[in-house]
Homo-oligomer: A and B are copies of this chain.
Amino acid sequence: MLRQSSMILPIRAHGPGLYDFTEKACAFVAESGIEEGILTVFCRHTSASLVIQENAAPAARRDLEAFFKRIAPEGGQYEHDDEGPDDMPAHLRSALTQTQLSIPVRGGKPVLGTWQGIFLFEHRRNSPEREIALHIIGE
């Protein structure tokens, strides 16, 4: 019978960058006991975001971080800087990536491809603990 489950996953980032939480998301799916369904991952912030990216090569992640620093740089022509020079770039990098991802679940696991990992993309230097809302529905 169809059912659902949800939780808030806290993640502590240590400065800007990509933080892989694929295993934690998979553990939530496993604990739900749901074999087939749909998993949703939602970031409750506007200065941190989500991306699904290459899980193998650290150089690819460094390039990704460098790219977003170039297209949404600090020291840009921003009116809003209440929380410092990394404030507005954080919002822009969040808008350009994802706040939410939904992934089908089959055989008790998200159907991620071989090279796909789920990452929190932290954009602030000094950020509070981040909260990721997880939800699954299925059977």
Residues of chain A touching chain B, judged by Cβ–Cβ distance below 8 Å, are 2-4, 6, 8, 36-38, 40, 42, 44-46, 51-54, 57, 59-60, 62-64, 66-67, 71-72, 76-80, 82, 88, 91-92, 94-104, 106, 111-113, 115-116, 131, 133-135, 137-139
Contacts and interface: CB of A to CB of B under 8 A. Distances in A.
Contact of A44 (B4, B40, B45, B113): B113
A4 B103 contact: no
B4 A4 contact: no
Given A4-B36, A91-B54, A100-B101, A116 B46 contact: yes
A101 B94 CA distance: 14
Nearest to A104: B135
